[in-house]
Structure formats: structure tokens, C-alpha cells
Chain A
């Protein structure tokens, strides 16, 4: 049974592409065959986050327009032979593809892959409509900020209107020190406001920046964000993983850090 998952947020810059890269890589690590599709036509980025930007020959628009076969456009991951990327076109715009074409494409990919994961562009226009057209399930990424949550709520409404009922939330870039001080909305606050199931919380972790610099998703590595993304993958797969509170640095750790410089 294969599943088409769209990763969306409404607002830009909250971590859709990072989440797509890490969730896809994590599921591949677990042994599933996975294809990632970058649906942000004109502003492609998933290729650089995955570190595959130098291997692109054909893209999504080429496939849809029939300039090549799907297999020719799929780029195999550097590390996992069961993980593929279908990159977006950089020199075209969102109207190059229609929701019907996207649905047809995802249906064809269902025959080959366990998970088809779509990285949705920001906004609620054509690009969003394309990305959700063939999806069974949606992961909504937000940060604990007023603007991101407002947009997430709008997206939830639109997904409901499009009859995608399986929706789950990822709260990204949470800072436990600020939550403890009362200066950031907590996980409970965000879930209470948006009223959908929680799939995962990812702490604000500088390792994400480092991993993106290197073009290697950090899922499964021994850092807070790496563990958080692995837990998300397990929950997607139906495992019941409890939510753990992330540690904030205690007095001693902070002291050590101050000495280390």
C-alpha cells in the first residue's frame, strides 16, 4: 500500500523543504522505497537541501509535458538506493502543470514506491492546488509564531474543503528555553489552537543549518533535530512513539559552553 503525502504550511520559511528532505530520507533509512517531488516550480530548493543539485537532467515539467519518461527524471540519492528525487523546473512557472496532471503523475508513481512525498510551495494559489491534487495525507508544518499558525489554520481549512481529512501537525523550530520563560507558545498551545493531531515537534537546532550547508539531511543522527525527525518517520509508519520534552541546557552545561567558548 503506497501513500502520497503532501508537506505544506501556507507561510514560507517555516521548514517545509527541510521536513520533506528529512522525512523522505528517514523513511528510506527504514527501508521503504521513497520518491520526493519538488512542486515549487520556479523556486526549486529540495535539490540543494538533498545535495543533488549537480545531477539534474530532466525535471517535473519535462515529465508532465512528455519530454522524457518518469524514470529518466528521477535522481537517485547519494546514500540510499531506494530514495529518489523528482526535481522541479527552475525556468518555468506554476501554470506549467495542472492539478489533473499531478494526480496522474502521483498515481503512476504509486506503482513503484511505498511513499510519494510532495514538497508544496508557500501560498495558496496554483502551486498549492497542484501539490495537494493527488495527496492522501497532509503534514502541516508550522513554527510557534502568530503568523505561521494563522497561515496553517487557513491551510487546514483549504485541505478540509478539498477532502484531505488525514492531516497532522509538525511544530518546527521550537525553543524550550523560551517556552519555559513564557515567551513562546508551547506545543500544547499550538495544538489547542489548530485542533489537529500532532505528528512531531522539532527543536530549533543549529545542526539543521549545518546539514543544509552540506546537503545531507540529518535525520537519525544523534542531535535533537535528528532524533525528532526520526520519531516523525516512525509515527508516519504507524509506530506509537511517545513525545519527549527536549532538554534545555542546565546551569552546568551553560557554564561548560562558556568556558569552551
Chain B
């Protein structure tokens, strides 16, 4: 447990557990099954592909928590990160 151990250490396993749980619980609570997420993902790819060329492999969608502006209450939000290969098709 020297100085260098701590220095070079990756994230502690406790933090890994917390991060995994946070993501897991958001999808558990929203009762959104992995199959449903897959369907949403495929539909998004189809729609966006009509207008531009996207990287379907690199597409990432998940349900996360976001604060509403007015009350500060946390609500679920659909987050999608869609890398674009070419804007013009």
C-alpha cells in the first residue's frame, strides 16, 4: 500500500460498484427492458439515416436522470450519442 500503489491505481472497486449501480437502477426504475432499448436504438438509426450518414456501431443510448428546470426534481431522460460520419447523404 505504498504511495505508488495509490498513484497508479485505477478507480477503486467501491466506486466502480457505485457507478454500475447508478446506471442499473435508472433502467430498473424506468422498467425499460434491454429489448425495448434495442428497438428504440434501431428505430433511431433508421430515422436519422434518412438524412445523414451515421456511425451505427458507435451509437449509444441510455436512460439517465436529469433535473427539471422549474422544480429541481429528477426525472428520467433519454440520452443518445450519435456519431455522424457525413452530414450530407
Contact = CB atoms under 8 A, between A and B. Distances in A.
Nearest to A193: B21
Interface in B19-75: 20-22, 24-25, 28-29
A228 interface: no
Q: Which applies to chain B's interface (DSSP): helix, strand, loop or mixed? A: helix
Nearest to B1: A181
Contacts of B29: 153, 157
Contacts of A64: none
Contacts of B28: 150, 153-154
B25 A182 contact: no
Interface in A78-119: none
9 pairs of A and B residues whose beta carbons are closest in the complex: A182-B12, A183-B13, A182-B14, A189-B18, A185-B14, A146-B17, A153-B25, A184-B14, A185-B17
Contacts of A181: 12
A186 B20 CA distance: 15
A149 B21 contact: yes
Contacts of B17: 145-146, 185
Contacts of B12: 181-183
Nearest to A188: B18
Interface residues of A, number: 18
Contacts of A182: 12-15
Contacts of A150: 21, 24-25, 28
A179 interface: yes
Most-contacted residue by chain B among A179, A181, A185 (CB, 10 A): A185
Given A192-B18, A193-B22, 17 more contacts: A145-B17, A146-B17, A146-B20, A146-B21, A146-B24, A150-B21, A150-B28, A153-B25, A153-B28, A179-B14, A182-B12, A182-B13, A182-B14, A185-B14, A186-B14, A189-B14, A193-B21
